[in-house]
Amino acid sequence: MKKISKHTLLKTAIIILSVLLVAATASAVYFVVQDNKSKNQIESLNKKLADEKSSHEADMQSNSEAFESLENEKSSEAQSYEDRLSAESSANQSKVDELNKQIESLNKQLAAKRAASTTKRVDSQSVTPSTPPAQSRGKTVYLTFDDGPSQYTPEILNVLDRYGVKATFFVVNGRYNSVMKDIVNRGNAIGLHSYSHNYASVYSSDAAFYSDLNKISAVVKEQTGVETKIMRFPGGSSNTVSKKYSAGIMSRLAKSVTENGYVYFDWNCANGDAAGANTVEKQLANCKSYPKSASNIIVLMHDSKSTTLEALPKIIEYYKSCGMSFGVLTTATPPVHHGINN
């Protein structure tokens, strides 16, 4: 044992230590490597996890979007259904309204027919008295029509012909001037009323009045060949509307037209067609209330009103039933004049 020297012992110790050191280093390296490996694995796992998470989130997002759009679709479908329903219901409502209107109008027609048949019965009693009253017998009635010709004038002429009655037409210028010829050719009288029938211009001065009168006179001459000298002032000689445009003009004109060879006619009875008498019954009632003391009746009417056409047969029948004869106005007819108010 002695031979084992200190040196050998040292050498051996160094060797053992070296081996130990190498082993320790190797194991340290191993652990570091292992550690790195684990770290990498953890990182990669984390990354994988994060990826999965984000893909999951994206899925969630897209799912929620899909859900939302589905919801929107559903609600817009519901909305459109509601809209359709409400449209259908309002269409139905308007159909109901329409039907109600039709019913109302049918009821009105029925009521009107009933009233007409009642009136007919009443009229046939009152229009044809067995003996004409003494106050009307032998009198002449002059039916006069102002403000035409109109679209109703041809039919009015037919009614007059049907009853063998003549009338007088105080005409204005308008779309139906060509009817003037027919008025005259069928034996009626034609007179001057106004070219424009515009109070503001006609009554602005004496000269303006004559300018208007000459113009309508020329139209009548051109259409009919007649140079008529009978006339009726727009608004009648008693009008007050002319005051607005020229004080005293009616007093001057009433005098001067006569001096110029014209005869002007007012009226002592009116069917009221220009004053709200918009039914046959009202017009007939007005015609019946002629002045009983007057020797002749000049009735003012307007052939520009449809109700007048409708009422005319009744009016003629009424005057016939009174034993009156029908005449046309001429310059020789005793005129009816109103009191002058301007």
Active-site positions?
146, 302
Do residues 202 and 232 lie in contact, with contact meaning Cβ atoms separated by under 8 Å? no
Pick the closer one to Zn ion by CB: 147 or 212.
147
Question: Cβ 193 to Zn ion, closest distance in Å?
Answer: 6
**Residue 59: CA atoms inside 13 Å, Cβ hemisphere, count?**
6
Site string for Zn ion, 97-126 (x = CB under 5 A): ------------------------------
Q: b/e map of 281-314 (b: 16 or more CB within 10 Å)?
A: ebbbebbeebeeeeebbbbbbbbbbebbbebbeb
Question: Cβ 252 to Zn ion, closest distance in Å?
Answer: 20
Question: Cβ 307 to Zn ion, closest distance in Å?
Answer: 16
Do residues 279 and 306 lie in contact, with contact meaning Cβ atoms separated by under 8 Å? no
Q: Which stretch binds Zn ion (CB under 5 A): 36-44, 146-154, 213-221, 260-268?
A: 146-154
DSSP, collapsed to helix, strand or coil, labels residue 185 as: helix
Among 123, 147, 212, 273, binds Zn ion (CB under 5 A): 147
Site for Zn ion contains 146 (CB under 5 A): yes
Q: Which stretch binds Zn ion (CB under 5 A): 83-91, 115-123, 139-147, 216-224?
A: 139-147
Of the candidates 307, 306, 231, 315, the one whose C-alpha atom is nearest the C-alpha of residue 265 is 231
Query: Encoding tokens for residue 277?
Result: 């008498």
Pick the closer one to Zn ion by CB: 139 or 305.
305
Query: Encoding tokens for residue 57?
Result: 């989130």
For residues 296 and 319, give the distance between their C-alpha atoms in angstroms, rounded to a whole number: 12
Question: Cβ 137 to Zn ion, closest distance in Å?
Answer: 32
Q: Which stretch binds Zn ion (CB under 5 A): 104-112, 143-151, 152-160, 251-259?
A: 143-151
Question: Cβ 234 to Zn ion, closest distance in Å?
Answer: 5
Q: Which stretch binds Zn ion (CB under 5 A): 59-67, 142-150, 217-225, 277-285?
A: 142-150
For residues 310 and 201, give the distance between their C-alpha atoms in angstroms, rounded to a whole number: 33
Question: Cβ 302 to Zn ion, closest distance in Å?
Answer: 7
Run of H or E residues at 156: helix 153-162
Run of H or E residues at 298: strand 296-302
Pick the closer one to Zn ion by CB: 147 or 273.
147
Applying CB under 5 A, what is the total number of residues that bind Zn ion? 2
Q: Which stretch binds Zn ion (CB under 5 A): 44-52, 145-153, 205-213, 306-314?
A: 145-153
Pick the closer one to Zn ion by CB: 123 or 273.
273
Give 243-273 as a 3 state SS string. Answer: HHCCCCHHHHHHHHHHHCCCEECCCCEECCC
Name the maximum alpha-carbon separation found in the chain.
Answer: 194
Pick the closer one to Zn ion by CB: 219 or 324.
219
Do residues 168 and 142 lie in contact, with contact meaning Cβ atoms separated by under 8 Å? yes
Pick the closer one to Zn ion by CB: 163 or 199.
199
Q: What is the contact surface with Zn ion in residues (CB under 5 A)?
A: 146-147
